[in-house]
Structure 1
Amino acid sequence: MVLFVVAVMVLVAVGVLLWKAVSAQALATGNGAADEETPTGPTRSPGASRARRTRPVAPDDDPEFLRSLDEQVRRDREDPPGQG
């Protein structure tokens, strides 16, 4: 079992190295597609290195969501369903 896990890890490592070598060679010879030449990792433009990015807010950190949830709970307490 251990030998199998080691063999899989070695095959994955060899596959990644071959993929990197082939993609680097394709870029160097100009055989790669245009979208392969664009960087795939995080990049920074010189002018926007410190630009503030807006990130999604988790529901438990969003004041508007918490306010609406509080209002919904209050409405449910004041007017329980089934009584009317």
Structure 2
Amino acid sequence: MLLFVVAVMVLVAVGVLLWKAVSAQALTTGSSTSEDEAPTGPTRTPGAGRPRRTRPIAPDDDPEFLRSLDEQVKRGRIDGQDPSSGT
């Protein structure tokens, strides 16, 4: 039983070493056929090939909202209304 456990551990270690050697060789020679077959982990640039997620913009950070708010305030002053009265 102990021999079996040691044999499995050796096979796993050899497999990991071979995988790293082959992936490192593919990176240096550029023999990878597609981007999907590139090795994962620190060798890959973060976010490569993924669409960028857009976050919702808060109203106080949205330039278009601020511009329209400024125009509304100016129109209120031009019409003779007091913008601070809230009516």
User: What is the TM-score with the length of structure 1 in the denominator?
Assistant: 0.42
Q: Which has the larger radius of gyration?
A: 2
User: What is the TM-score with the length of structure 2 in the denominator?
Assistant: 0.41
